[in-house]
Amino acid sequence: MKNVYLIGIGGIGMSALARYYKHQGSCVAGYDRTPSSLTKELQNEGIEIHYDDDITQIPAAFKRDKHETLVIYTPAIPADLMEYIYFKEMGYSIIKRSMALGVIAKDKRTLGVAGTHGKTTTSTLLAHILTNSGAGCNAFLGGISKNYHTNLLLSNSNLLVAEADEFDRSFLQLWPQTAIITSADADHLDIYSNYESIKGAFEEFASQVSDNLIVKLGTNIETGNSKAKVYYYSYDSESDFYASDIKVSENGYFGFTLNYPGGSVKNCTVGIPGWVNVENAVAASAAAILEGVSTESVKEALAQFEGVERRFDIQINNSKCSYIDDYAHHPKEITAAVSSIRNMFPGRKLTAIFQPHLYSRTRDFAAEFAQSLSKLDELILLDIYPARELPIEGVTSEIILNEVTIKNKILTSKERLMEEIANRDIDVLITFGAGDIDRFVKPIKEYLKKRYNV
């Protein structure tokens, strides 16, 4: 396509598409609501972006060549966005992000990674193993790889690694040859209405996999309709792929034996700490081994993995003060992260800042959020980040706060957040959330480094 215009271009999935089409030689531009470090990078790469919902700011070439312009939008945009309405009424070819990815994947051997949590780290790790081994791959990632400093990998390989997102049933646009399902918990109930509905969507995705389906042991989905051979993986329970002889060092890095159907690989390590990343490594290794990557290449790549920005992302690791930033926005993700951090820093005080994401998710999981956050020593709770939603009457962060059982808890505004941090003795600090809490990571890191001289 000559021109590609993206509405919501600053999203992690949308920005990868923008980079892909730019690489393919298309003229690429787009709109986003707010500037970010990612939109700045896209602009530096020659992509024109504006931040007002204003059809007069759409570049002239995109208006002139209607039949040579593809418009891609994210379902996170509001239905009354003027630019979206303009393109629709003018008869442009307009498709969702998931459909664009599905079209690209159609001619590739696709390795899809799905799950209500764990998919970004697992897909990035799988892409890294394939790249590091020399097999190569193209990859559309749901985060910024710290090994490659991007969310898009391109190569001459016919392999495509894609994060298969369950939001808005996007992953049903993919028909992978190999797929991983890391979890299928209740989430996005604004889209799915109930757990049975989301479970059914994952089962439909599983039925679209043709060769190898790799499912986390204990995941509550039926795989009988899948044409693929089904494998199970686990952190440490015996299954097709699992870890054993697990040893943790003082700083939270793990050594383990990787067990697979043909044998085992001893003395494996993951280049980032936390037991949850051993589990992610087992899943990614399973897919790589089934695609023919040697176990020695897998072992080497695991050790060299640097992680993903905002996924268990260690900013400071010091005996005086440690700081971890994490994208966790579901109760089970928070529980797993806190468990891993407790494992890394036994006996230390954990303080977390949590920004709830979406009114509907806060309403649906208030009790579960309170339970997971009660595993902390201190909690600083922020107001709900609305994203695509309008407020829901009676739904505020207070409904979580009221159920949290620890004594040291407070609800504060973003404007007062740095003051709250300054007023407390920080040992281990974690920021949790999928909203704009990421804007605070750099200032928090700089403040803590200066305050504790680390």
Other CB atoms within 10 Å distance of the CB of residue 250: 8
Tokens for 58, please give them: 């759409």
CB-based contacts of 188-194 (< 8 A; 24+ apart in sequence)? 188/361, 189/360, 189/361, 189/364, 190/358, 190/360, 190/361, 190/389, 191/167
Predicted pLDDT at 167: 81
Mean pLDDT of the region 30-38: 93
Buried b / exposed e along 331-362 (16+ C-beta atoms within 10 A): bbbbbbbbebbeebbeeeebbbbbbbbbbbbb
pLDDT attached to residue 186: 63
Look at residue 358 and tell me whether its pLDDT is greater than 90: yes
Model pLDDT, residue 251: 76
Q: How far is CA 290 from the centre of its chain?
A: 24
pLDDT tens-digit readout, 418-443: 999 999 999 999 999 999 999 999 99
Residue 388 has pLDDT above 70, yes or no: yes
Nearest-angstrom CA–CA distance, 175 and 305 = 28
Give the pLDDT band (50/70/90) at residue 143: very high
Interhelix angle for 295-304 vs 119-133, to 10°?
120
pLDDT at residue 378, rounded to an integer: 98
For residue 306, the tally of other CB atoms under 10 A from its CB is 14
SS (HEC) of the chain: CCEEEEECCCCHHHHHHHHHHHHCCCEEEEECCCCCHHHHHHHHCCCEEECCCCHHHCCHHHHHCHHHEEEEECCCCCCCCHHHHHHHHCCCEEEEHHHHHHHHHCCCEEEEEECCCCHHHHHHHHHHHHHHHCCCCEEEEEEEECCCCEEEECCCCCEEEEEECCHHHHHHHCCCCEEEECCCCCCCHHHHCCHHHHHHHHHHHHHCCCCEEEEECCCCCCCCCCCCEEEEEECCCCCCEEEEEEEECCCCCEEEEEEECCEEEEEEECCCCCHHHHHHHHHHHHHHHHCCCCHHHHHHHHHHCCCECCECEEEECCCCCEEEEECCCCHHHHHHHHHHHHHHCCCCCEEEEECCECHHHHHHHHHHHHHHHCCCCEEEECCCECCCCCCCCCCCCHHHHCCCCCCCEEECCHHHHHHHHHCCCCCEEEEECCCHHHHHHHHHHHHHHHHHCC
Are the C-beta atoms of 146 and 307 separated by less than 8 Å? yes
Pair type for strands 178-181 and 109-114:
parallel
Per-residue pLDDT tens over the stretch 63-121? 988 899 999 999 888 889 999 999 999 999 999 999 999 999 999 999 999 998 899 99
Confidence bin at 371 (pLDDT 50/70/90): very high
pLDDT in tens, 44-62: 999 999 999 999 999 999 9
The rounded mean pLDDT for the chain is 94
User: What is the predicted pLDDT for the residue at 166?
Assistant: 87
Is pLDDT at 389 greater than 90 in this prediction? no
**Local confidence band at 26 (pLDDT 50, 70, 90 cut-offs):** very high
Q: Distance (Å, rounded) from C-alpha 185 to C-alpha 205?
A: 15
φ, ψ (nearest 5 deg) of residue 259:
-100, 135
Render pLDDT for 298-352 as a digit per residue (tens, 0 to 9): 999 999 999 999 888 999 998 899 999 999 999 999 999 999 999 889 999 999 9
Q: What does the pLDDT look like over 222-251, one tens digit per residue? A: 998 889 999 999 999 999 999 999 998 877
**Which pLDDT score is estimated for 72?**
98
Residue 190: pLDDT band (50, 70, 90) is: low
pLDDT at 188 over 70: no
Q: Supply the pLDDT for residue 78.
A: 87
